[in-house]
A and B are shown apart, each in its own frame.
Chain A
Amino acid sequence: MCIPFWISRSRSASLVLLAWSLVLKLDASPAIDLSTVQTMVGAGKIAELKALGKEVLPVMARLYEASDLTQRTRIAQTFYALGWKSAEAKRVLIKDVHTPDQQLRLEVQWALGRVSNDDDVVTVLLNNMQHDANPLFRDKAACALASDQIHLTEQQKVRLFAGLIQALGDSKPDVRRIAMLALQIQTGQTKGFNPDAPLIERDAKIREWKQWLEQYKSNL
């Protein structure tokens, strides 16, 4: 999982280079050829795609819709790598957020938070984390919630925190565990919550987390 908040170059030079090399557009071509984009995506040429500017995103979205599962997986990876907000990207990706195809599902779950900060992205990932039948998908949804919601504002994080705190009360131990892990990565603390503790102890800690959330909201 990536390091949220403040990334120190001395520690994470590669992360910074990755992040910054992928952010923001350069000059965009007036007309972007679909086949050129297809070739670039296939070859993993992120820098060249980035050089095309954000106008490449709707083209990639159209390509995604017209592609097979393998190609969609590559495009989702590319959306993730670019890290640019895009309504078109979110629109096509979210259609596959329940796909049974394992590779595509993981890439879509990871990419969504990097293309959008819409409320329904957090909602659908929280839902997958708690209710998907496949434990792997649940775990990776939590991973996405912990590390990939890069466009969320402090206000928008309320929804994320509320969902994770609510999931601490889930009947499934693995959900409680991954919800706690995501919350810990987001906030740096657990407030002593143990996902395997007796119910009464867990409830007490969940109340602490809810109080914390109220205080968080009052500071916005």
Chain B
Amino acid sequence: MARTIQIQLITLLCCLVTVASAQSVSSNILVSYSFDDTQLATGPDTFAVFARSRGTVRLSGTNKLSGYRSVEIRDVAGDRDFPELQGYFAPRSKGKLFLHFGFMTATPYEEFNIALAGPQWFSLRKDGIGFWLKTREGHLCQVSDSMPKKLFLLEPFVWYAVNTTYDIDQGSYDLVIHKEGLEQPVVSLANQANSANQPGSAVDKFSFIGDTGEDKSNVTYYVDDVMVGVDESIVHLPFVAPGRKKLFIDYWSEAQRNRHMQPGPIEVIGLTDFGIRQKEMEALKAAGLWEQLLQAINGQSVALDVRQETSVEIQRLPQAVALWNEGVKALRERKAADALRRFDEAAALVPSAKIYAMNAVLSLVALQQWDAVDERVSRIYADWQDDVRFVPAMAAIGLARQHLDEAEQWLQGPAEQIPDQLGQDLLRRLRSGAVTPDLVQQLKVRFPDNWDDYIKDVLVAEQYFLVLLWKNQAAAAERFAQRMADRYEALGIPNSRWYERMGDAAFFLGNFTMALQQYEKGVKGNEQSAGILVKLSDVYFRLGDLEKERLYREKIYGTIGTE
């Protein structure tokens, strides 16, 4: 029976509107989680996430095998608990079962365990664990016939795709593991005894955890594309094959399909959107507010029973989420003024939560208050410019805005006469993309009468370019970007961001060689920018150079600790 997902116990940022989802693909698929889709179907219990103590299970937009997100499982030694992603499906006591998933570890020498088990749960016995992968001394091992057997030495930050054909009646399985970038599998084993060598051992669940109770693991690993079914095609799924891996351009196209002239609320992809990081998670749990937070994320009314010792900052987190939920509802119902009020209240409660400020901007767009839009975008620009959601949001803003041809006027007009060095420096910083609240404040002081015009010029140019792309006028967008780059160069302004945009346009036109050339110019001076590194990775993927694709992807892994 095909299953759709219902998140039963969620501590992943979870059942929140946009979180992990599984969908029934066909009647032969029991479980399918890609952690990407925005639709959350309901159904019988299908998975649970345990992220108690300091360990976490959460979505990762940085590291994924396909699509936009994977699940990151992070264990912390000595915290007296372990994180777990546990999934369920209809019990199977005969026949064959096919299992497919991808994993990648950042810490090969730290233990993690992945298992398929039955009604006797995760013990070595009949109807207990049937299939078990674990790490030992940096190696991936399978537990077969009650003993761990080394398979291969794991490499950090490399995706592995696991395909298993599990024969319940025989108590055995075939195991094929592919490593990214290699055509031949690194493991290809047939007829392996199942974990406890038990024919007829039923299975109905799987689990991804750190260590098995010793509390010594500091593992961080990622899981993506989990599929369980009775259709053999599952274990023949391609590994990062063209058409399967989703690139930055795919996110754009999907957003393009989903958005209309009226910008809606931006989707949430992580707890950090709400200003909730590890420290806040621990504090929320300690204060007994974790469940309330999850309820608030799910749009349920929250009755806060706050302990006296709980800090005001922590109390505000679920309050702000509740306001955000009201704002999202109001914006969808075209009540933009109400939405703006809610988002502003939420942002005032938790200023570090970037989703509230962006949704306030989108509310202002709906209200057509363009001066306020420009000022607020400039304030949040630095927080958002490397976020995959930013470009479609800017394009949507541009679409809602009229008179974008103002961008052409700036190109055609004479250069400003700014006599002083300070003024020139401020405008150079603004146009090179270093838009920060501090810069906006300095602009206000230096140009009290027309500071907002300068900001508008910059934002309108960017939105104009994006709207051209949005309207499938990539060649025109490329020409505009070229002229902007030339103009910047003539004015002595760093123009790497316009080279990046030329690369985007070339990518849209399918000219990947040209896109690469432009991105390489664009990355100069922006070597730490996750946004352009992702694009370089994607263009190398399109060019079939998987080594370079990985090289640039790995440069982004430095953000793991701060995600």
Which positions in A face B, CB cutoff 8 Å?
3-12, 16, 19-21, 23-24, 154, 184, 186-189, 191, 212, 215-216, 219
Which residues of B are in contact with A by a Cβ distance under 8 Å?
Answer: 48, 50, 78, 80-81, 84, 86, 113, 115, 117, 121-126, 128-129, 136, 145-150, 195-198, 207, 209, 212-213, 215
7 residue pairs A–B, Cβ–Cβ below 8 Å: A7-B122, A11-B121, A16-B213, A24-B80, A188-B198, A189-B145, A219-B147
A154, closest chain B residue (CB): B148
Assess the A6–B80 pair: CB atoms within 8 A. Answer: no
- Given the complex of chains A and B, what is the CA–CA distance between A137 and B117 in angstroms? 34
Contact across chains for A189 and B198 when beta carbons are under 8 A apart: yes
Docked-complex contact A4 and B123, CB < 8 angstroms: yes
Please name all residues of chain B whose beta carbon is closer than 8 Å to the beta carbon of A212 when the two chains form the complex.
145-147
Q: How far does the alpha carbon of A25 sit from the alpha carbon of B124 in the complex, in Å?
A: 30
Chain A residues lying within 8 Å of B125, measured Cβ to Cβ, are 184, 188
**Chain B neighbourhood of A187, CB < 8 A:** 124, 146, 196
Cβ-neighbour of B146 out of A6, A9, A188 (below 8 A): A188
CB distance from B7 to the nearest CB of A (A): 14
Chain B residue nearest to A19 in the complex (CB): B213
A188 and B196 contacting across the interface, CB-CB below 8 Å: yes
Given contacts A24-B215, A188-B128, A188-B196, whether A219 and B149 have CB atoms under 8 Å apart is: yes
Residue pair A9, B84 in contact (C-beta under 8 Å): yes
B130 to A: closest C-beta gap in Å: 10
The 9 A-B residue pairs with the shortest CB-CB distance in the complex, in nearest-first order = A188-B196, A6-B122, A188-B124, A187-B146, A20-B80, A188-B125, A216-B147, A8-B121, A11-B121
Query: Could you tell me if A10 and B48 are in contact, using CB atoms closer than 8 angstroms?
Result: yes
Give the distance in Å from the alpha carbon of A184 to the alpha carbon of B78 in the complex: 30
Instruction: Select A5's contact among B122, B136, B150, beta carbons within 8 Å.
Output: B122
Identify the closest chain A residue to B215 (Cβ).
A23
Q: Determine the chain B residues whose CB is within 8 A of the CB of A16 once the complex forms.
A: 81, 213
Among candidates A8, A184, A191, A219, residue contacting B122 with C-beta atoms closer than 8 Å: A8
Task: Provide the bound-state CA to CA distance between A188 and B115, in Å.
Answer: 15
Within the complex, what minimum Cβ distance (angstroms) separates A220 from chain B? 8
Give the most central of A6, A8, A21, A184: most B CB within 10 Å: A6
Residue of A nearest to B78 (CB): A24
Inter-subunit contact A3/B123 (CB<8 Å)? yes
Nearest CB in chain B to that of A20: its residue: B80
Residues in A with CB closer than 8 Å to B84 are: 9
Q: How far is the CB of B174 from chain A (nearest CB, A)?
A: 19
> Which B residues are in CB contact (< 8 Å) with A191?
197
Q: Could you tell me if B196 and A189 are in contact, using CB atoms closer than 8 angstroms?
A: yes
**A20, B81: Cβ atoms closer than 8 Å:** yes
CB distance from A211 to the nearest CB of B (A): 11
Residues in A with CB closer than 8 Å to B149 are 219
Given known contacts A154-B136, A219-B148, A219-B149, A5 and B80 CB-to-CB distance under 8 angstroms:
no
CA distance A9 to B8 in the complex (A): 14
A residues in contact with B86, CB < 8 Å: 8, 10
Docked pose: A20 CA to B148 CA in angstroms: 25
Residues of B within 8 Å of A12, CB to CB, are 121
Q: Collect the chain B residues with CB atoms within 8 Å of residue A154's CB.
A: 136, 148
Q: How far is the CB of B395 from chain A (nearest CB, A)?
A: 45
Which of B126, B148, B212 makes the CB contact (< 8 A) with A6? Answer: B212
Contacts of B136 in A (CB 8 A): 154
Complex Cα spacing A16 to B115, Å: 18
B198 near A23: Cβ-Cβ < 8 Å: no
Identity of the chain B residue whose Cβ is nearest the Cβ of A217 in the assembled complex: B147
B146 (CB) vs chain A CBs: closest residue: A187
Contacts of B145 in A (CB 8 A): 189, 212, 215
CB pair A6 B78 closer than 8 Å: no
Contact B80 A189 (CB under 8 A): no
- Pick from B121, B126, B215: contact of A20, CB below 8 A: B215
In the complex formed, the residue of B with least CB distance to A215 is B147
Whether B48 and A7, one on each chain, are in contact in the complex, defined by CB atoms closer than 8 angstroms, is no
Known contacts A19-B213, A188-B196; is-contact A9 B50 (Cβ 8 Å)? yes
A212 to B147, CA, bound (A): 9
Residue ID in chain B nearest A153 by CB atoms: B136
A residues within 8 A CB of B198? 188-189
Query: In the docked arrangement, what's the CA distance between A141 and B213, Å?
Result: 23
Chain B residue at smallest Cβ distance from A24: B78
> Which of A8, A186, A215 gathers the greatest number of chain B CB atoms within 10 Å?
A8
Of the candidates B117, B122, B148, B150, the one having the most CB atoms from chain A within 10 angstroms of its own CB is: B122
Residues in A with CB closer than 8 Å to B124 are 4-5, 186-189
Known contacts A24-B80, A188-B146, A215-B147; is-contact A6 B215 (Cβ 8 Å): no
Is there an interface contact between B212 and A219, defined as CB atoms closer than 8 Å? no
Are A5 and B123 neighbours in the complex by a CB distance under 8 Å?
yes
Nearest Cβ distance between residue B161 and chain A, in whole angstroms?
A: 23
Roughly how many angstroms separate A184 CA and B146 CA in the complex, as a whole number? 10
A187 smallest CB distance to B (angstroms): 4
Closest A residue to B205 by CB, please name it: A8
- Inter-chain CA distance A8–B148, complex, in Å, is 20
B197 contact set on A, CB distance < 8 A: 188-189, 191
Contact of A21 with B207 in the complex, beta carbons under 8 Å = no
Which residues of chain B are within 8 angstroms of A10 by Cβ–Cβ distance? Answer: 48, 86, 121
Report yes or no: B129 in contact with A6, Cβ–Cβ below 8 A.
yes
Closest chain A residue to B193 by CB distance?
A189
Contact status A6-B196, CB under 8 Å: no
Tell me the complex Cα distance, A11–B88, Å. 13
Known A-B contacts: A188-B129, A189-B146. Give 17 more (CB < 8 A): A5-B129, A6-B113, A6-B117, A9-B84, A11-B122, A16-B213, A19-B213, A20-B215, A21-B80, A23-B80, A23-B215, A24-B80, A24-B215, A154-B148, A186-B146, A212-B145, A212-B147
Report the separation of the CA atoms of residues A215 and B192 in the bound assembly, to the nearest whole angstrom: 14
